[in-house]
Amino acid sequence: MNIIVCAKQVVDISEMKIDNSTNKPILSGLNKKVNEIDKNAVEEAIKIKDANGGKITVLTVGEADAKERMKELLAMGADEGILINPPENMDYAMLTNILAGAIRKIDGFDLIICGEASTDMFSGQVGPRIAGILDLPQITYAQKITVEKDKINAERNLGDMVVTMESPYPVLVSVTKEINEPRLPSLMQILSSASKPIQDWTIESLDVIVESKVKTIDLQGVSTDRKNIIYKDDSEDNIQKLVDNLAKDGVLR
Amino acid sequence: MILVYSESKNLTIELLHKATDLAKELKTKTIAIIIGKDDDSLAQEYIAYGADKVLQVESNLEQYKAEEYADILDHIIKDTKTQVVLIGSDKNGKELASRLAGRLDIGCIIDATNVYIKDGKVTAERVVYSGNAISVEQFNSAPSVITVPSKVFDPSPKDDKRKGDIEKVKASFEKSASIVANVAELQSGGVNVEDAEIIVSCGRGMKNKEDLKLVNDLAEVLKGKTIGCSRPIAADLKWLPEEHWIGLSGHKVKPKLYIAAGISGQIQHIAGMRDSGVVVAINKDADALIFKSADYGIVGDLYKVLPKLTEAIKAKMG
Ligand SMILES: Cc1cc2nc3c(=O)[nH]c(=O)nc-3n(C[C@H](O)[C@H](O)[C@H](O)COP(=O)(O)OP(=O)(O)OC[C@H]3O[C@@H](n4cnc5c(N)ncnc54)[C@H](O)[C@@H]3O)c2cc1C
Ligand SMILES: Cc1cc2nc3c(=O)[nH]c(=O)nc-3n(C[C@H](O)[C@H](O)[C@H](O)COP(=O)(O)OP(=O)(O)OC[C@H]3O[C@@H](n4cnc5c(N)ncnc54)[C@H](O)[C@@H]3O)c2cc1C
C-alpha cells in the first residue's frame, strides 16, 4: 500500500496577538508546528502500513523551515518527505494544483490522506479539491478506516449521521482528530529520522499551471476584551460576588 | 446566473436572499437547484423566497456522493453561464464545493460570513486563525464558488405571488467508483445552541457522563436550559450529541451568558464562543487559558462550584 500524506506547517495561533495600531494580526515571530490533524493522518498511514506493508510519503508545500516539521512526521514512522516551496500569494487553486502535480509525479500510489482541516485557515478545501483535480473518489471526515486488499471502507462523521463509504483504490481520504491518538516518537526514532530523505521539488519540475483565482485583499484582527475578574477560590463570599456581578450585568433574568 | 444549492431547505432559502441581491447587482437571475426526487411544492417555495428559476434535477440517486453531485453541478454551471455558485456550508456542502472548484480549476471560498461585489468583483469575507482575524478575499476569475454556513443571512420575506420557472431535467453524471455502504442516523434532541440566550457548557473536567446533571441543574435555574460542550465530550466520549458541540469545528454561539465548566479554553473552543456576551469560567487550574477569555472566573473544583453556584443563583433569582 503506497500512501501519500499531505501535511501542512501552521503558525501557533494560540500565541497570536493583534497590533492595536493597525488592527492586523501579528504573524511574524510565531512558533510553527505541524497542523495537528495531519499527525492523525500520519498515524493512520503508519497503522495501515504496519498491517499491509508499503511506503508512506509526506508531501508539504511550505517554506524551507517546514523541513523541521516534516522530520517529526518521519520520526513517527513516515518513510520520506517531499517539500515544495510555495509561490508568492498562493491561493487554494495554486496550492492544490501544485499538490496534485506532485502526486501525479509520485509513481504508484493507492491512498492519499489529508487532515479534515488545518488549524489556521480551517477550510477543509484542500483534500476534496485535490480529489477533484485528480478525478479520484473522496471520503472526507473519516473517523474510522478499514483497509482491505482491493477496497477501503471508511466512516464519515457528519454530526447528525455516520455514513460508511466504500471505494476502490486510488482514493483520497480526509481524517478527523478522533480517528486515532498520534504516537510520540521515541528518542531513537527521532535520531534515526535524520537519515530519512526529504527531497526538494520545484514547481517548475511539475507539469502544472499555477495561476491565482482568489486574492486576499485585507486581513483584519478581531479582538474581544474581557473583564478577567478571577476569584481565587470558591468561598461563599466569592460565589456571591460573582452572582451579584452577573445580576448587575443583566444576564440573570 | 447565480446558482444556489444546499441539501438543507432552510439554508437554500437563506442563500436565495443573498443570491437575489447579487443577481440585481450583476444584472442576472437566480436559479435554485433541487437534486433527487421531484418536489413541486419545494420548488414553489424557493420561488416565493426569491428564485427566478428552479432546476429540478431528477435522478435515481439514493444518496449523496460528492463525485456525482459535483459532476451534476459542473454540467449545470457550463449550461447556464453561471457567475456565482452559493452552496450551503455543511460538511457535504463544503466537500462538494471544494471538489467542484478543483475540477473546474476555479476559485472557492469556504465558510463565507459575507458576500458582496466590490470594484466589480465578487468578494467574500471569512474568519481565519481560529477567530482571531477576518480575511477579505476577492475572486479574479469566474465562476466563483462560495459556501455559506447557516444563519449568516436571513431569508427574504416570503412572497407567495412571486412567479418563476420550474424546469425538470434528467441528471447527467458519471457514476462514482465508491458506494455508500451504510447510513446511521445519530440521536438528536433538537437542541439549537446557536439561538440559545444562556449556555452552560462543559468539557473534559467532567469525570462521568452522569455528572452532566450538575451542568443541567445550573442550566435549569438559569432558565437557559441549554447545555454546550467541548469537542472531546461530543466527538470522543460521545456523552452529548453533536448539536451541543461548540467551537471552530462545531457550532458558533453568541448567548448573552456563557458558562464554561471544566473547559481548558483552547483556541479552537474559543472560536465558537468568543461572540458571547458575558463569559464565566470554572476551572481548577488557575493558569487555564479559559480565564483569559472570561469576564469572571472561579478557580475551583467544578464538582463543588457548580452546585454552590446553582444554589446562589436560585436564591438571587427568587
Ligand atoms: C491571510 C492568508 C495568509 C496566508 N499566508 C500563507 C503563508 O504565509 N504561507 C503559505 O504557505 N500559505 C499561506 N496562505 C495560504 C493558505 O494557508 C493555504 O491555502 C493553506 O495551505 C491551505 O489552506 P487551509 O489551511 O484552509 O487547508 P485545509 O483545506 O483546511 O487543510 C486540509 C488538509 O489539506 C492538507 N494541506 C493543506 N495545506 C497544505 C500544504 N500547504 N501542504 C500540504 N498539505 C496541505 C493537509 O492534509 C490539511 O490537513 C495564506 C492564506 C491566507 C488567506
Ligand atoms: C482542527 C481542530 C478543530 C477543533 N475544533 C474544536 C471545537 O470545535 N471545539 C472544541 O471544544 N475543541 C476543538 N478542538 C480541540 C481543542 O483543541 C481542545 O483539544 C479541546 O477544546 C479540549 O477540550 P476540553 O477543554 O474539554 O478538555 P481539556 O483540554 O482536557 O481540558 C479540561 C479542563 O478541565 C479542567 N478540569 C479538570 N478537572 C476539573 C475539575 N474537577 N473542576 C474544574 N476543572 C477541571 C482542567 O484543568 C482542564 O483545563 C479542535 C482541535 C483541532 C485540531
- The CB-based long-range contact list for A239-247 (8 Å cut-off, 24+ gap) reads A239/B298, A239/B305, A239/B308, A239/B309, A239/B312, A240/B312, A242/B280, A242/B296, A242/B298, A242/B309, A242/B312, A243/B309, A243/B312, A243/B313, A243/B316, A244/B316, A245/B296, A246/B257, A246/B278, A246/B280, A246/B296, A246/B313, A247/B316
Percent of residues, chain A, with pLDDT higher than 70: 100
Query: Is A204 an 8 Å CB contact of chain B?
Result: no
Task: Tell me the nearest-neighbour CA distance from A177 into chain B, angstroms.
Answer: 9
- Identify the nearest ligand to the CA of A218 by its number: 1
Nearest-angstrom CA–CA distance, B103 and B92: 17
Nearest-angstrom CA–CA distance, A61 and A31: 18
**Of A232 and B317, the one with more pLDDT:** A232
Best mutation site among B61, B77, B108, B185 for testing chain A: the one with the most A CBs within 10 Å? B108
**Residue B59 confidence class, pLDDT cut points 50, 70, 90:** confident
Whether residue B291 lies inside any domain: the answer is: yes
Q: B138 and B211: one domain?
A: no
Residues B164-170 have a mean pLDDT of: 95
pLDDT at residue A53, as a whole number = 96
**Contact flag A161-B186 (C-beta cutoff 8 Å):** yes
3-state secondary structure of A34: strand
Whether residue B183 lies inside any domain: the answer is: no
**Contact flag B182-A177 (C-beta cutoff 8 Å):** no
Q: Which pTM does this prediction carry?
A: 0.94
pLDDT by residue (tens digit) across B3-58? 999 999 999 999 999 999 999 999 999 999 999 888 999 999 999 999 999 999 99
Contacts of B268 in chain A (CB under 8 A): 119
For residue B140, the domain's CATH number is: 3.40.50.620
Residue type, B203: G
Q: B88 and B225: one domain?
A: no
**Contact flag A230-B291 (C-beta cutoff 8 Å):** yes
| Backbone phi and psi for residue A107, each to the nearest 5 degrees, phi listed first | -85, 140
Q: Which residue of A has its CA nearest to B277?
A: A251
Q: B11 and B106: one domain?
A: yes
Q: B164 and B106: one domain?
A: yes
**Among B258, B253, B179, residue whose Cα is nearest residue B224:** B258
Whether residue B162 lies inside any domain: the answer is: yes
**Contact flag A128-B135 (C-beta cutoff 8 Å):** no
Give the three cell numbers for residue B52. Answer: 427566478
Q: B202 and B160: one domain?
A: no
Domain boundary among B170, B201, B221: B170
Percent of residues, chain B, with pLDDT higher than 90: 92
B233 secondary structure, DSSP code: I
Whether residue B187 lies inside any domain: the answer is: no
Q: What is the ipTM of this complex?
A: 0.95
| Backbone phi and psi for residue A186, each to the nearest 5 degrees, phi listed first | -80, 165
Residues B97-104 have a mean pLDDT of: 98
**Contact flag B177-A168 (C-beta cutoff 8 Å):** yes
The H or E element containing residue A107 is none
Domains and CATH numbers, chain A: 2-205 (3.40.50.620)
Does the pLDDT value for residue B98 go beyond 80? yes
Q: B114 and B198: one domain?
A: no
Which residue in A128, A228, A246 is closest to B66 by CB distance?
A: A128
Residues B244-267 have a mean pLDDT of: 96
pLDDT at residue B187, as a whole number = 81
Query: Is A150 an 8 Å CB contact of chain B?
Result: no
Q: Which atom in ligand 2 lies closest to the alpha carbon of residue B282?
A: 43
Whether residue B177 lies inside any domain: the answer is: no
Q: B197 and B164: one domain?
A: no
Give the three cell numbers for residue B74. Answer: 459542473
Whether residue B224 lies inside any domain: the answer is: yes
- Identify the nearest ligand to the CA of B124 by its number: 1
The answer for A 21-40 residues in CB contact with B (under 8 A) is: 24-25
Residues B81-87 have a mean pLDDT of: 97
**Contact flag B198-A251 (C-beta cutoff 8 Å):** yes
Range of the domain at B210: 193-317
**Among A61, A181, A175, residue whose Cα is nearest residue A114:** A175
Contacts of A119 in chain B (CB under 8 A): 130, 248, 267-268
Q: B159 and B34: one domain?
A: yes
Whether residue B99 lies inside any domain: the answer is: yes
**Residue B96 confidence class, pLDDT cut points 50, 70, 90:** very high
Instruction: Calculate the average pLDDT of chain B.
Output: 95
For residue B253, the domain's CATH number is: 3.40.50.1220
Does the pLDDT value for residue B224 go beyond 90? no
3-state secondary structure of B295: coil
Query: Is A114 an 8 Å CB contact of chain B?
Result: no
Q: B248 and B290: one domain?
A: yes
With a CB cutoff of 8 Å and minimum separation 6, the contacts of B125 are B112, B113, B114, B115, B134, B135, B136, B137
Residues B190-208 have a mean pLDDT of: 94
- Which segments in chain A show pLDDT lower than 50? none
Q: B136 and B8: one domain?
A: yes
Which residue in B66, B110, B111 is closest to A138 by CB distance?
A: B66
B243 secondary structure, DSSP code: G
Q: B210 and B158: one domain?
A: no
pLDDT at residue A253, as a whole number = 78
Domain boundary among B119, B136, B170: B170
Domain boundary among B155, B170, B185: B170
Q: B242 and B134: one domain?
A: no
Does the pLDDT value for residue B61 go beyond 90? no
Whether residue B182 lies inside any domain: the answer is: no
**Residue B62 confidence class, pLDDT cut points 50, 70, 90:** confident
Residue B289 alpha carbon to ligand 1 centre in Å = 26
pLDDT at residue A247, as a whole number = 94
What's the domain count of chain B?
A: 2
Contact B203, B264 (CB under 8 A): yes
Which residue in A92, A139, A219 is closest to B135 by CB distance?
A: A219
